[in-house]
Chains A and B, each alone.
Chain A
Amino acid sequence: MFIAIRDLRFARGRFALIGAVIALMTFLVVMLSGLTAGLGSASISAVRDLPVDSIAFAKPAAGQAVSFTGSALPADTVGQLAAVPGVTAAHPLGVATTQLENGDAAAAVTVIGTDPGLLPPLTAGRTPAAGQIAVAGALTKDAHVHVGDTVTLGGTRFTVSATVEDTSFSHMPTVYTSVDTWRQIAHTDTITAVGLTGTPTHDVPGVTVVSKSAAFGAVGGYSAEQGSLNLIRLLLVAVSVLVVGSFFTVWTMQRAGDLAVVRAIGGSRRYLLRDALGQALLIMVLGAGVGAGLAAVLGLLAANVVPFTLSAATLALPMVVMIVAGLVGAAASTRRISTIDPLTALGASR
């Protein structure tokens, strides 16, 4: 790093510029990662937080994927699945979208009917009995709903017995109730799906069982939304590789004469490669660190108005990916270093 550190001091402007570009790219990737995770959570947290291993859906038509909106199972499917070897517990799941009205306030909600054991942890009140509901924490702010209130769901009035930790389904806050009450709200005799613990060893006719994580794709729009955002993140990382690679390629070409002199006085290729990669690593860590730091601050502020999740996965991981991507780009430029001919240090060719 002897030459690398001195180059950084000498060419401050150039390195500040590339550092700023790396910081900006990292900022964008981290912001996008936070939004992707936030939007994903808003879409599937109700499913993600279910204490089950897999979810059984009605078998979809040929060429179609399972979906919560397209699935309807007879109520006795729960018993059939519970009897399959390998299954330790089966719980009915009813999922329906409706409007919650609380006086002048209203909000679109997803009502989930299931067993009390599958509810998220209560934050206030008691587990809902027949004719009662528990609401996600967001509804206390969005629709001013509190324990003890009476609200209207699908034209029927229910008492709020509890609030639960915030979950949502398809970007709507959730309302939990019993399966019987859910059928009343959804005006149906069926259920949507069955949550399973354990691993079924046999198939049940007309039923498709998928892992919980695979069931995220059964939430409408989730896969398309995440796919689009992930593609943008991937493109940003690819652009970063190109930008950093281009910078270090030009930088290496500009100082080819200096490198030839170092080779001529006995500097090994390994010394120069280590120096160059060390320089790239330093720039990437500083640039990515500044970018991720700014994104974390702005993300925390933005989390009040947009779904933004700040975690190790959305902050540290994108930063590491950017650093590695930058090093890949810089490594591509080091091919030129390994081909520097020390002979060019002699004579008037310089």
Chain B
Amino acid sequence: MSLTLESVNLTYPDGDSRLTALDDVSLHVSAGEFIAVTGPSGSGKSSLLAVAGTLIAPDSGRVEIAGVDAGPLSSAARDRLRLESIGFVFQQANLLASLTALDQLLLVADLSGDDKAAARTRASELLERVGLADKAHRRPARLSGGERQRVNVARALMGSPALLLVDEPTSALDRDRGEAIVTLLAEVTREQNLATLMVTHDLAHVHLTDRVVHVHDGRLVDAPEPVPAA
């Protein structure tokens, strides 16, 4: 398993009491599997993604990523685990304003201390894979929303992760561009044998995934029927 959540519970302080964000959540995502997590706002989707990405530690339960139990890890070790095993695709505009498309990818290599020449080659290949080879030297301000999201995907793949965590990738895109991004995610999941977990409130593209998981009040429930492809 590339991602395993077992009996995960997460609460947040809420005045004098605590608000339950995740309630006994168990989920397994295998290599090569693309799972969509849907649910209304405040249902716990983002909390699920944060726990799976080791950005927040659960109150109880087990989180295993690429065979590593994240529970006992120190903060620095969790940083290293994210760098080496997890790729994040954030909502649009989560690119660094001062970096070109190529630099967004090379940053990951710099964080890892990878060989510069090899990193440049891989970054160029990834930008070509997402269709942005000719815009490698553009900063985010000179890219369209769809192009920015493609850079986001390429950056997430730069560290050769085992797990891809995707946060609302279509929230700022029109239907066609959203479809293109989710299609790209489905393709790279299979090409690179990734375990991909995509949080989305948009049911229009979940037909491209292998499985849909629905979150309601912090619990996993049966998924509703996805919207058929247009």
Residue ranges of A at the interface with B (Cβ–Cβ < 8 Å):
2-3, 6-7, 9-11, 255, 257-258, 261-268, 271, 342-343, 345-348, 350
Contacts and interface: CB of A to CB of B under 8 A. Distances in A.
B90 A261 contact: yes
A266 B106 contact: no
A345 to B, nearest CB: 6
Contact of A350 (B87, B93, B111): B93
A348 B41 CA distance: 11
Interface of B: 46, 49-50, 53, 55-56, 76, 79-84, 86-88, 90-91, 93-99, 103, 106-108, 110-112, 139, 155-156, 159, 167-168, 171
B103 A350 contact: no
A285 B47 CA distance: 44
A3 B91 contact: no
A258 B97 CA distance: 8
26 contacts: A2-B110, A7-B98, A258-B97, A261-B90, A261-B95, A262-B107, A262-B111, A264-B82, A264-B88, A264-B90, A266-B79, A266-B80, A266-B84, A266-B112, A267-B111, A342-B55, A343-B55, A343-B56, A345-B88, A345-B94, A346-B46, A346-B53, A347-B46, A348-B168, A348-B171, A350-B91
A266 B111 contact: yes
A267 B97 contact: no
Contact of A258 (B79, B96, B111): B96
A8 to B, nearest CB: 9
A11 B76 CA distance: 30
Main secondary structure of the interface of A (DSSP, over half): helix
A273 to B, nearest CB: 13
Contacts of B49: 346
Contact of B91 (A266, A267, A347): A347
Contact of A3 (B81, B96, B168): B96
A3 B99 CA distance: 8
A31 to B, nearest CB: 35
B55 A262 contact: no
Nearest to B95: A261
B80 A348 contact: no
A265 B155 contact: yes
State the 3 A-B residue pairs at the shortest beta-carbon distance, nearest first: A266-B83, A10-B98, A266-B82
Contacts of B95: 261
A255 B94 CA distance: 11
Given A266-B83, A346-B167, A10 B97 contact: yes
A45 to B, nearest CB: 53
